[in-house]
Chains A and B, each alone.
Chain A
Amino acid sequence: AQKVTQAQTEISVVEKEDVTLDCVYETRDTTYYLFWYKQPPSGELVFLIRRNSFDEQNEISGRYSWNFQKSTSSFNFTITASQVVDSAVYFCALSEEGNRDDKIIFGKGTRLHILP
Protein backbone atom coordinates (compact mmCIF):
# COMPACT_ATOMS: atom_id res chain seq x y z
CA ALA A 1 0.00 0.00 0.00
CA GLN A 2 1.11 3.53 -0.66
CA LYS A 3 1.80 5.87 2.22
CA VAL A 4 3.25 9.34 2.71
CA THR A 5 4.65 10.52 6.03
CA GLN A 6 5.40 14.10 6.93
CA ALA A 7 6.72 13.82 10.44
CA GLN A 8 6.96 17.57 11.04
CA THR A 9 3.52 18.81 12.00
CA GLU A 10 4.52 22.42 12.46
CA ILE A 11 7.74 24.41 11.97
CA SER A 12 8.55 28.00 12.85
CA VAL A 13 11.61 29.83 11.59
CA VAL A 14 12.69 33.43 11.46
CA GLU A 15 12.60 35.15 8.10
CA LYS A 16 15.72 34.62 5.94
CA GLU A 17 16.54 31.32 7.58
CA ASP A 18 16.64 28.15 5.49
CA VAL A 19 14.12 25.44 6.28
CA THR A 20 13.71 21.84 5.12
CA LEU A 21 10.42 19.99 5.06
CA ASP A 22 10.72 16.22 5.25
CA CYS A 23 8.73 13.66 3.28
CA VAL A 24 9.09 9.88 3.47
CA TYR A 25 7.03 7.60 1.29
CA GLU A 26 6.20 3.92 0.97
CA THR A 27 5.34 2.13 -2.23
CA ARG A 28 5.73 -1.31 -3.78
CA ASP A 29 5.62 0.13 -7.26
CA THR A 30 8.77 0.72 -9.27
CA THR A 31 7.16 3.55 -11.22
CA TYR A 32 5.61 6.34 -9.24
CA TYR A 33 5.32 10.09 -8.96
CA LEU A 34 5.99 12.39 -6.05
CA PHE A 35 4.58 15.88 -5.62
CA TRP A 36 4.75 18.90 -3.39
CA TYR A 37 1.84 21.29 -2.93
CA LYS A 38 1.49 24.56 -1.05
CA GLN A 39 -1.73 25.54 0.72
CA PRO A 40 -1.83 29.25 1.64
CA PRO A 41 -4.47 30.58 4.03
CA SER A 42 -6.92 30.97 1.13
CA GLY A 43 -7.23 27.16 1.10
CA GLU A 44 -6.53 26.30 -2.52
CA LEU A 45 -3.68 23.85 -3.07
CA VAL A 46 -0.98 25.10 -5.41
CA PHE A 47 1.09 22.54 -7.32
CA LEU A 48 4.84 23.10 -6.87
CA ILE A 49 6.69 20.16 -8.38
CA ARG A 50 6.42 16.62 -9.72
CA ARG A 51 9.15 14.01 -9.73
CA ASN A 52 8.98 10.56 -11.29
CA SER A 53 10.73 7.57 -9.79
CA PHE A 54 13.32 7.37 -12.54
CA ASP A 55 14.57 10.89 -12.11
CA GLU A 56 16.65 11.33 -8.99
CA GLN A 57 18.20 14.61 -10.01
CA ASN A 58 17.73 17.35 -7.49
CA GLU A 59 15.77 20.32 -8.67
CA ILE A 60 16.14 23.99 -7.90
CA SER A 61 13.61 26.67 -8.68
CA GLY A 62 14.54 30.03 -7.29
CA ARG A 63 14.58 29.74 -3.51
CA TYR A 64 13.01 26.28 -3.63
CA SER A 65 14.93 23.03 -4.00
CA TRP A 66 13.98 19.38 -3.80
CA ASN A 67 16.14 16.41 -2.81
CA PHE A 68 14.83 13.04 -4.02
CA GLN A 69 16.60 9.97 -2.64
CA LYS A 70 15.18 6.56 -3.54
CA SER A 71 17.63 4.82 -1.20
CA THR A 72 15.90 6.42 1.79
CA SER A 73 12.46 6.83 0.16
CA SER A 74 12.57 10.53 0.83
CA PHE A 75 11.61 13.62 -1.13
CA ASN A 76 12.57 16.62 0.97
CA PHE A 77 11.81 20.24 0.19
CA THR A 78 14.10 23.13 1.17
CA ILE A 79 13.26 26.81 1.16
CA THR A 80 16.32 29.04 1.16
CA ALA A 81 16.21 32.53 2.64
CA SER A 82 12.61 32.09 3.74
CA GLN A 83 10.10 34.90 3.46
CA VAL A 84 6.88 35.62 5.30
CA VAL A 85 4.93 34.79 2.12
CA ASP A 86 6.23 31.23 2.39
CA SER A 87 4.01 30.72 5.43
CA ALA A 88 1.56 27.98 4.47
CA VAL A 89 0.80 24.31 4.85
CA TYR A 90 2.92 22.15 2.59
CA PHE A 91 1.84 18.71 1.42
CA CYS A 92 3.83 15.89 -0.06
CA ALA A 93 1.92 13.39 -2.23
CA LEU A 94 2.43 10.11 -4.08
CA SER A 95 0.84 8.46 -7.12
CA GLU A 96 1.66 4.94 -8.23
CA GLU A 97 1.62 4.42 -11.98
CA GLY A 98 1.43 0.66 -11.71
CA ASN A 99 -2.10 0.75 -10.33
CA ARG A 100 -3.23 2.69 -13.39
CA ASP A 101 -5.92 4.23 -11.26
CA ASP A 102 -4.59 7.79 -11.00
CA LYS A 103 -5.01 7.68 -7.23
CA ILE A 104 -3.04 10.39 -5.40
CA ILE A 105 -2.32 10.00 -1.69
CA PHE A 106 -1.29 12.95 0.47
CA GLY A 107 0.68 13.24 3.67
CA LYS A 108 -0.81 15.10 6.62
CA GLY A 109 1.06 18.27 5.79
CA THR A 110 3.57 20.50 7.55
CA ARG A 111 2.44 23.93 8.70
CA LEU A 112 5.27 26.40 8.17
CA HIS A 113 5.40 29.72 10.01
CA ILE A 114 7.90 32.30 8.83
CA LEU A 115 8.32 34.89 11.56
CA PRO A 116 9.25 38.45 10.59
Chain B
Amino acid sequence: DGGITQSPKYLFRKEGQNVTLSCEQNLNHDAMYWYRQDPGQGLRLIYYSQIVNDFQKGDIAEGYSVSREKKESFPLTVTSAQKNPTAFYLCASSLGGGLSPEAFFGQGTRLTVV
Protein backbone atom coordinates (compact mmCIF):
# COMPACT_ATOMS: atom_id res chain seq x y z
CA ASP B 1 0.00 0.00 0.00
CA GLY B 2 1.25 3.48 -0.85
CA GLY B 3 1.25 5.95 1.95
CA ILE B 4 2.99 7.72 4.77
CA THR B 5 4.04 5.89 7.89
CA GLN B 6 4.81 7.60 11.15
CA SER B 7 6.22 5.77 14.10
CA PRO B 8 5.74 5.36 16.93
CA LYS B 9 2.10 6.32 17.44
CA TYR B 10 2.69 7.24 21.08
CA LEU B 11 6.00 8.38 22.54
CA PHE B 12 6.99 9.31 26.05
CA ARG B 13 10.11 11.28 26.80
CA LYS B 14 11.80 12.42 29.95
CA GLU B 15 12.64 16.07 30.23
CA GLY B 16 16.07 16.86 28.87
CA GLN B 17 16.16 13.98 26.42
CA ASN B 18 16.26 14.19 22.66
CA VAL B 19 13.82 12.03 20.74
CA THR B 20 13.44 11.24 17.04
CA LEU B 21 10.12 10.77 15.27
CA SER B 22 10.13 8.66 12.16
CA CYS B 23 8.36 9.48 8.88
CA GLU B 24 8.59 7.29 5.78
CA GLN B 25 6.72 7.59 2.49
CA ASN B 26 6.56 5.32 -0.54
CA LEU B 27 4.59 7.72 -2.74
CA ASN B 28 7.71 8.95 -4.59
CA HIS B 29 6.93 12.46 -3.37
CA ASP B 30 9.63 15.11 -3.46
CA ALA B 31 8.26 17.41 -0.74
CA MET B 32 7.86 16.43 2.90
CA TYR B 33 6.63 18.36 5.93
CA TRP B 34 6.44 18.26 9.69
CA TYR B 35 3.60 19.96 11.54
CA ARG B 36 2.85 20.33 15.19
CA GLN B 37 -0.73 20.38 16.46
CA ASP B 38 -1.76 21.77 19.84
CA PRO B 39 -5.35 22.19 21.04
CA GLY B 40 -6.82 25.37 19.58
CA GLN B 41 -3.68 26.13 17.58
CA GLY B 42 -4.32 24.25 14.39
CA LEU B 43 -1.33 22.94 12.46
CA ARG B 44 1.91 24.85 12.65
CA LEU B 45 4.76 24.16 10.25
CA ILE B 46 8.04 23.07 11.84
CA TYR B 47 10.23 22.13 8.88
CA TYR B 48 9.74 21.21 5.26
CA SER B 49 11.88 19.76 2.52
CA GLN B 50 11.44 20.07 -1.22
CA ILE B 51 14.23 17.73 -2.23
CA VAL B 52 16.80 15.35 -0.81
CA ASN B 53 19.55 17.00 1.22
CA ASP B 54 17.66 20.26 1.47
CA PHE B 55 15.16 21.59 4.00
CA GLN B 56 13.79 24.88 5.26
CA LYS B 57 12.58 26.14 8.60
CA GLY B 58 8.90 26.64 9.08
CA ASP B 59 7.23 28.93 11.56
CA ILE B 60 8.25 27.13 14.76
CA ALA B 61 11.59 25.44 14.02
CA GLU B 62 13.33 26.33 17.28
CA GLY B 63 14.16 23.26 19.33
CA TYR B 64 13.74 20.89 16.39
CA SER B 65 16.05 19.43 13.78
CA VAL B 66 15.52 17.36 10.65
CA SER B 67 17.46 15.52 7.96
CA ARG B 68 16.59 14.45 4.43
CA GLU B 69 19.22 11.94 3.37
CA LYS B 70 16.77 9.82 1.42
CA LYS B 71 13.74 10.78 -0.61
CA GLU B 72 11.55 8.41 1.38
CA SER B 73 12.53 9.53 4.85
CA PHE B 74 12.25 12.77 6.81
CA PRO B 75 12.91 12.17 10.52
CA LEU B 76 12.26 14.89 13.08
CA THR B 77 14.34 15.23 16.24
CA VAL B 78 12.81 17.02 19.18
CA THR B 79 15.75 18.33 21.16
CA SER B 80 16.01 19.25 24.81
CA ALA B 81 15.98 22.89 23.68
CA GLN B 82 12.27 22.59 22.82
CA LYS B 83 10.64 23.95 25.97
CA ASN B 84 7.17 22.58 25.46
CA PRO B 85 7.42 19.47 23.30
CA THR B 86 4.21 17.71 24.36
CA ALA B 87 2.03 17.78 21.24
CA PHE B 88 0.67 15.81 18.31
CA TYR B 89 3.14 15.68 15.42
CA LEU B 90 2.03 15.13 11.85
CA CYS B 91 4.21 14.30 8.87
CA ALA B 92 3.04 14.90 5.32
CA SER B 93 4.29 14.67 1.75
CA SER B 94 3.35 16.06 -1.64
CA LEU B 95 4.57 15.78 -5.21
CA GLY B 96 5.85 19.33 -4.90
CA GLY B 97 7.00 21.65 -7.65
CA GLY B 98 3.46 22.91 -8.15
CA LEU B 99 2.55 19.64 -9.86
CA SER B 100 0.08 18.39 -7.34
CA PRO B 101 0.44 20.55 -4.29
CA GLU B 102 -1.93 18.82 -1.92
CA ALA B 103 -0.23 17.10 0.97
CA PHE B 104 -1.04 13.65 2.27
CA PHE B 105 -0.62 12.90 5.94
CA GLY B 106 0.53 10.12 8.19
CA GLN B 107 -1.40 9.05 11.26
CA GLY B 108 0.64 11.19 13.61
CA THR B 109 2.81 10.69 16.68
CA ARG B 110 1.62 11.87 20.06
CA LEU B 111 4.61 12.93 22.13
CA THR B 112 4.31 13.34 25.86
CA VAL B 113 7.06 14.64 28.13
CA VAL B 114 7.00 13.00 31.53
> Taking the nearest CB of chain A, how far is it from the CB of B11, in angstroms?
14
Count residues of chain B with CB under 8 A from any CB of chain A: 29
**C-alpha spacing A46/B98, complex, angstroms:** 20
How far apart are the CA atoms of A102 and B94 in the complex, in Å? 8
Q: Tally of A-B residue pairs with Cβ under 8 A?
A: 67
Give the number of residues in A that approach B within 8 Å (Cβ atoms).
25
- Contact A97–B90 (Cβ < 8 Å): no
A95 at the interface (CB under 8 A from B): yes
Taking a contact as CB atoms under 8 Å apart, the answer to whether B101 and A100 are in contact is no
- The chain A residue with its CB closest to the CB of B32 is A102
CB–CB A44/B106 < 8 A = yes
Assuming the contacts A43-B88, A91-B42, asked whether A104 and B108 have C-beta atoms less than 8 A apart, the reply is no
B interface residues with partner A (beta carbon < 8 Å): 31, 33, 35, 40-45, 48, 50, 56, 58, 88, 90, 92, 94, 96-98, 101-108, 110
